[in-house]
């Protein structure tokens, strides 16, 4: 399944964070309506932690202890 199929299910204003191979820096962070076109054809992959294509994350923190905004995490396979 490709990322563009999931984005049709989410509201355009929903904040998403798209994760690729690098677990420290997301490929994209922002609302669904602003996802770059080049990312929409990437294949979704399941998270190793939850065995799901996406996670809803509330009240999470980055590695420095700074809070992340609430968002939907999507996982893709980089080519």
**Rounded Cα distance, 61 and 2, in Å:** 28
CA 52 – CA 36 distance, rounded (Å):
22
Six-digit token pair at 7? 């984005």
Average pLDDT over residues 69-78: 86
Give the global pTM: 0.82
Which has the closest alpha carbon to 43: 75, 16, 76?
76
Is residue 39 within 8 A of residue 79, CB to CB? The reply is no
Tens digits of residue pLDDT in 33-65: 999 999 999 999 998 888 888 887 777 665 555
Length of the chain: 79
| Number of domains, the chain | 1
What are the structure tokens assigned to 69, written together? 């905004």
Q: Which domain holds residue 29?
A: 3-77
């Amino acid at each position: 399944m490709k990322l563009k199929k999931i984005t049709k299910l989410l509201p355009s204003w929903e904040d998403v964070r798209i994760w690729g191979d690098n677990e420290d820096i997301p490929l994209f962070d922002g609302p669904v309506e602003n996802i770059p076109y080049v990312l929409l054809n990437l294949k979704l992959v399941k998270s190793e932690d939850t065995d799901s294509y996406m996670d809803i994350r509330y009240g999470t923190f980055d590695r420095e202890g700074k809070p992340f905004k609430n968002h939907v995490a999507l996982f893709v396979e980089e080519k």
